[in-house]
């Protein structure tokens, strides 16, 4: 695989907001004193009057976003996943989700790849939390191309959307010229006969690399990118499971409640298949450089390949 | 509407709230009655709303942050013509659009779903901010409970409203001094409420919230206040208008039985007759 460049999806978020806002006056961005980190500062520079800093008050930000949305604005409320999905969970559930308001939640710094800030800021539970809210769309893009397309799709979709972005620069694996994003439609990136890897977020590029490592050992892995955790592409999950009869899910999230759980729910119901969940094993993260943490938690290509080979 | 007409309408709002709670066999009469005069003033004197066009983008907005007092709110909306008075009898019934707490998706005239305490003021702030950003002159009103302001999010919202000088926002605190577990002082005192809002950059007015002369004067003062949001601390009587419910915390969230309902309605009808 040719790696031309690496971009953090939080940068994609900031850049996409600027692009969309050029054409749509009703797009408005809210932040909670993290504009430099969530990259909405890029938007603030381009559209200062449409960037609302709410201060360090995420619960209030969620409510303000809800109120703005009832008046015709399309607010993107931005913070770290820990605070957007965690701190403000009940506000998102009751004040945005219940009335099905047209609010987009841009959650950056998800997962252990937050790195040095450590466990308090590494949210491995957001997909689980957001997935249980009725009517909430949950998207976890894998690279810059997909992330920018996801922001655009979220803007165009009418209703609440949770967008998960990362802090760590990740390889750009999609070709902007040919890439097509559709909410709820997974993408088969690699065909294979022996095992099906279903991955999301930054684990997609790592899983593609893992598939190459497995190939060297005679294991032919299919790789599916599930960027939309909800609604999940049940058809593709079932087809992927049928193709090899053995499924591994890979996510930078707790093995409880995220992609792994969503895939198992689908397969238990439609095509019982053995599934192994690779993710954060019901534990907290810790401080350290992001890449070293991914290695330690076996979420890099080598760790994923090792786990698959051992469990197959 | 003149004062006498408002007083009569407020009695009708109280009767509607009692009927709703009685038919639901549950709900919150105490705070519905304490705020009945505020509901009445908002919908029959103050707010620019049109029941035939409830989603008019230039309408004034109202958020009932203390969403559990929906029975009083629903009665005002029904009397205003957003839906039939008969509908109040379906409150809290399966399939009814009058949910236990306000549901904007299904109830005509409701500008925001609410009920989880502490969250409504933030949404009202969002609406007021939207008006400022889009140069519209509608106003946003938000009614909070005095117990509700124990929620920290209220003060996050107040800080933002003061910081942004949202003079198109009026917060009314229904200060009936009772919450489920007792008086405010017994539970966890938020006093002095007025000084707190002042500290957050609000113009503050203390009134008797069950007196239309004082309500009228305060709302006019709020509208004339520029450069900062206004908070009206409405000193009210919980259960106002039904003798055995007045100042009795046991009527915070309990429905009257048949006999109690009869007595309540008789008292309210007597009050209405006295106003004729």
Q: What is the pLDDT of residues A90-102, one digit of tens each?
A: 999 999 999 999 9
Q: Do B133 and A69 touch (CB under 8 A)?
A: no
Is residue A58 among the annotated active site residues? yes
CA distances from A112 to A125, A141, A172, B220, B244 (A): 11, 16, 20, 54, 59
Domain with CATH 3.40.50.920 in chain A: 187-311
Compute the average pLDDT of residues A198-213.
98
Q: Does B124 touch chain A (CB under 8 A)?
A: yes
Residues of A in contact with B163 (CB under 8 A): 55
Question: Dihedral through CA A177, CA A182, CA A185, CA A188, nearest 10?
Answer: 0
pLDDT tens digits along A112-170: 999 999 999 999 999 999 999 999 999 999 999 999 999 999 999 999 999 999 999 99
The CATH number, out of the four listed (3.40.50.970, 3.30.559.10, 1.20.1070.10, 3.10.20.90), of the domain defined by the range B3-274:
3.40.50.970
Domain with CATH 3.40.50.970 in chain A: 6-171
Q: Does B107 touch chain A (CB under 8 A)?
A: no
Compute the average pLDDT of residues A177-187.
98
pLDDT > 90: percent of chain B: 100
**Residue corresponding to tokens 């299919």:** A222
Q: Does A218 touch chain B (CB under 8 A)?
A: no
| Model pLDDT, residue B109 | 98
State ipTM: 0.97
The C-alpha of A158 sits at a distance from chain B's nearest C-alpha, in angstroms, of 14
Among partner residues A50, A55, A63, which is closest to B119 by beta-carbon distance?
A63
- Band of pLDDT at residue A2, cut at 50, 70 and 90: low
Compute the average pLDDT of residues B245-249.
97
Using the CB atoms, write b or e for A116-129: b if 16+ within 10 Å: eeeeebbbbbbbbb
**Residue corresponding to tokens 């800030």:** A117
The C-alpha of B144 sits at a distance from chain A's nearest C-alpha, in angstroms, of 15
Q: Starting at the edge strand that comes first in sequence, how are the strands of the sheet with A221-225 ordered?
A: A187-190, A221-225, A195-199, A246-254, A274-280
The answer to whether residues B142 and B169 touch, using CB atoms and an 8 Å cutoff, is yes
pTM reported for the whole predicted model: 0.97
Q: Does A159 touch chain B (CB under 8 A)?
A: no
B248 burial class (0-12, 13-18, 19+ CB within 10 angstroms)? Answer: middle
* Annotated domain spans of chain B: 3-274
| Model pLDDT, residue B276 | 86
The CATH number, out of the four listed (3.40.50.1820, 3.20.20.70, 3.30.70.340, 3.40.50.970), of the domain defined by the range A6-171:
3.40.50.970
**Residue corresponding to tokens 């707190």:** B196
Compute the average pLDDT of residues B70-83.
98
Domain covering A187-311, topology: Rossmann fold (3.40.50)
d(CA A303, CA A309): 10
CA distances from B250 to A149, B37, B92, B182 (A): 55, 21, 20, 9
The C-alpha of B222 sits at a distance from chain A's nearest C-alpha, in angstroms, of 21
Average pLDDT, chain B: 98
pLDDT tens digits along A240-299: 999 999 999 999 999 999 999 999 999 999 999 999 999 999 999 999 999 999 999 999
Helix (H, G, I), strand (E, B) or coil at A181: coil
């Amino acid at each position: 695989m040719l790696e031309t460049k690496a971009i953090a999806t939080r940068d994609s978020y900031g850049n996409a907001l600027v692009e969309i806002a050029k054409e749509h006056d009703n797009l408005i961005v809210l932040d909670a004193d993290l504009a430099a980190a969530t990259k909405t500062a890029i938007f603030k520079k381009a559209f200062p009057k449409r960037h609302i800093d709410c201060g360090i008050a995420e619960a209030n930000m969620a409510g303000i976003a809800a109120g703005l949305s009832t008046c015709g604005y399309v607010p993107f409320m931005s913070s770290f996943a820990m605070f957007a999905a965690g701190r403000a969970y009940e506000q998102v559930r009751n004040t945005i989700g219940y009335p099905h308001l047209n609010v987009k939640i841009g959650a950056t710094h998800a997962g252990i790849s937050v790195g040095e800030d450590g466990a308090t800021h590494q949210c491995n539970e957001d997909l689980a939390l957001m997935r249980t809210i009725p009517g909430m769309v949950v998207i976890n893009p894998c690279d810059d191309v997909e992330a920018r397309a996801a922001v655009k799709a979220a803007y165009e979709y009418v209703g609440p959307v949770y967008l998960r972005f990362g802090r760590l620069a990740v390889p750009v694996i999609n070709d902007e010229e040919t890439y097509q994003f559709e909410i709820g439609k997974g993408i088969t990136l690699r065909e294979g006969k022996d095992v099906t890897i279903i991955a999301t977020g930054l684990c997609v590029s790592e899983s593609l690399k893992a598939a190459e490592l497995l190939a060297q050992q005679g294991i032919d892995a299919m790789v599916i990118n599930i960027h939309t955790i909800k609604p999940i592409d049940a058809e593709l999950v079932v087809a992927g499971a049928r193709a090899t009869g053995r499924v591994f899910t890979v996510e930078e999230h707790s093995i409880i409640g995220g992609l792994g759980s969503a895939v198992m729910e689908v397969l238990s119901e439609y095509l019982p298949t053995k599934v192994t969940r690779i993710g954060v094993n019901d534990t907290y993260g810790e401080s350290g450089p992001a890449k070293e943490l991914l290695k330690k938690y076996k979420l890099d290509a080598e760790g994923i390949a090792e786990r698959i080979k051992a469990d197959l | 509407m003149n004062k006498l007409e408002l007083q009569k309408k407020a009695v009708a709002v109280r009767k509607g709230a009692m009927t709703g709670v009685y038919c639901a066999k549950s709900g919150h009469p105490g705070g519905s009655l304490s705020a009945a005069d505020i509901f009445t003033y908002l919908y029959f004197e103050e707010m620019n709303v049109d029941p035939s066009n409830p989603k008019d983008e230039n309408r004034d907005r109202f958020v009932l942050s203390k969403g559990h007092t929906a029975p009083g709110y629903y009665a005002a909306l029904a009397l205003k013509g957003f839906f039939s008075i008969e509908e109040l009898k379906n409150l809290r019934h399966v399939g009814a659009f009058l949910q236990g707490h306000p549901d904007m998706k299904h109830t005509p005239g409701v500008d925001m779903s609410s009920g989880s305490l502490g969250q409504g003021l933030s949404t009202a702030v969002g609406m007021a901010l939207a008006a400022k950003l889009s140069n519209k002159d509608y106003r946003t009103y938000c009614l909070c409970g005095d117990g509700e302001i124990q929620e920290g999010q209220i003060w996050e919202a107040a800080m933002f409203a003061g910081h942004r000088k949202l003079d198109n926002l009026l917060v009314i605190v229904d200060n009936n001094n009772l919450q489920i577990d007792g008086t405010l002082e017994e539970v966890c005192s938020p006093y002095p409420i007025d000084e707190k809002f002042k500290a957050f950059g609000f113009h503050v007015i203390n009134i008797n919230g069950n007196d239309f002369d004082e309500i009228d004067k305060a709302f006019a003062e709020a509208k004339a206040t520029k450069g900062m949001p206004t908070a009206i601390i409405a000193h009210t009587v919980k259960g106002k208008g039904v003798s055995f419910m007045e100042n009795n915390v046991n009527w915070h969230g309990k429905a009257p039985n048949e006999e109690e309902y009869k007595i309540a309605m008789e008292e309210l009808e007597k009050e209405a007759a006295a106003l004729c």
